[in-house]
Structure 1
Amino acid sequence: MQTVRDKCFAKCITKPGSSLSGSESSCISRCVERYIEATGIISRALFNAPR
């Protein structure tokens, strides 16, 4: 999760401050959701791969 946090922070937070704006919060949420979705796709592909 450290990598996700770092990547999403770098992508979404352009001017760090004491709180998140609405657009920053939405961006973080979408970024994390995409990462979780991608992780699931990769896990299913590895699980279903022929051995």
Structure 2
Amino acid sequence: MEGFGSDFSAGGPGNKVDPGTIMEQVKVQIAVANAQELLQKMTDKCFKCIAKPGGTLDKSEQKCIAMCMDRYMDAWNIVSRTYNTRLQRERARM
């Protein structure tokens, strides 16, 4: 089987699966998925800045996109930090 499962051994006789390695691979995949989601959402939200789609952006469109992306990144970071803090608090209670 190719794709996602091809990086992992079957764990049969003589094949040991390292849980730490698997966890790191999952973390990397989650980080990539989060980055893709962030880029897609920024594109969706900031596309409104482009009044006349074409080969170039005028100065006002460039400024609008830069400001929109900055605001979106700030909001994303605040939400991410808050979420992570809450997760840490929940784990500490366990």
Q: Distance in 2 between matches of 1:6 and 1:35?
A: 11
Tell me which of the two structures has the higher relative contact order, counting C-alpha pairs closer than 8 angstroms and 6 or more residues apart.
Answer: 1
Q: TM (normalized to structure 1)?
A: 0.83
TM-score, scaled relative to structure 2? 0.49
Q: Which amino acid aligns with 2:55?
A: S
User: Runs of 5+ in structure 2 lacking a partner?
Assistant: 1-38
1:3 matched residue in structure 2: 41
Give the partner amino acid of 2:40: Q
Matches of 1:6 and 1:22, distance apart in 2: 20
Q: How high is the sequence identity, in percent, across the aligned residues?
A: 46
Query: Highest CA radius of gyration, 1 or 2?
Result: 2
Write the distance in 2 (CA, Å) between the matches of 1:3 and 1:13: 16
Aligned positions, number: 50
5+ residue gaps, structure 1, are none
CA deviation vs aligned residue, 1:14-40 (integer Å, no higher than 9, x gap) = 111221000000000011111110111
The one-letter code sitting in structure 2 at the alignment partner of 1:46 is: Y
Aligned to 1:18: 55
